[in-house]
A and B are shown apart, each in its own frame.
Chain A
Amino acid sequence: KQEVTQIPAALSVPEGENLVLNCSFTDSAIYNLQWFRQDPGKGLTSLLLIQSSQREQTSGRLNASLDKSSGRSTLYIAASQPGDSATYLCAVVKAAGNKLTFGGGTRVLVKP
């Protein structure tokens, strides 16, 4: 059974510092990995999707890497801002059908 883990569960950084969020998964046979952002009381917003054949994806200040063989992905957020405060979740898709298996999330606080 696929298990997805995110450590740490919470992270607090001063504004301007780069954020590094980690995600690990036990079964390397995945189709893709997705990173989401969740604000309190809101739904999930997709940030990046990395296909199994890719090593990284970038969008603005966000960069996500994928090392399938070691079962790891890292989300980098450059020059963090207070508006980046949210919970970040990673999820993997193991088979056709887009079923997502989620990690527990990392709650991020960026202090002004």
Chain B
Amino acid sequence: DAGVIQSPRHEVTEMGQEVTLRCKPISGHDYLFWYRQTMMRGLELLIYFNNNVPIDDSGMPEDRFSAKMPNASFSTLKIQPSEPRDSAVYFCASSFGHMNTEAFFGQGTRLTVV
């Protein structure tokens, strides 16, 4: 398997624009996570899905953020409208099973909002 695949790898956008980040989890994995990494706050969980259903979105910072998982092989994280403070690296991760299983991370999307 190619691992968790994220696109794009880099995104530069202007404030106010809509940004969509994409993730393809490892085939067969039933959990998908979106994390954000910044220098100030480190790695934080934004939202996670189990069998395509959002389970916990308490980490989503504002209503400007939304995430979907229309099927087992694809998820999106959307920011609308984007703001400079959204600049960060966004990681998608997947795992199989609900306990004691390793999480596999994608390479991340580096988002810069100017």
Contacts and interface: CB of A to CB of B under 8 A. Distances in A.
Contacts of A103: 42
Chain A's interface: helix, strand, loop or mixed, by majority? strand
Given A32-B100, A49-B100, A100 B106 contact: no
Contacts of B12: none
A19 to B, nearest CB: 21
Nearest to A43: B105
Contacts of A89: 43
Contact of B48 (A43, A45, A97, A102): A97
B55 A45 contact: no
Contacts of B4: 43
Interface residues of A, number: 25
Given A97-B56, A99-B48, A105-B42, A51 B100 contact: yes
Interface of A: 31-32, 34, 36, 41-46, 49, 51, 89, 91, 93, 96-105
5 contacts: A43-B107, A91-B43, A97-B98, A100-B103, A103-B42
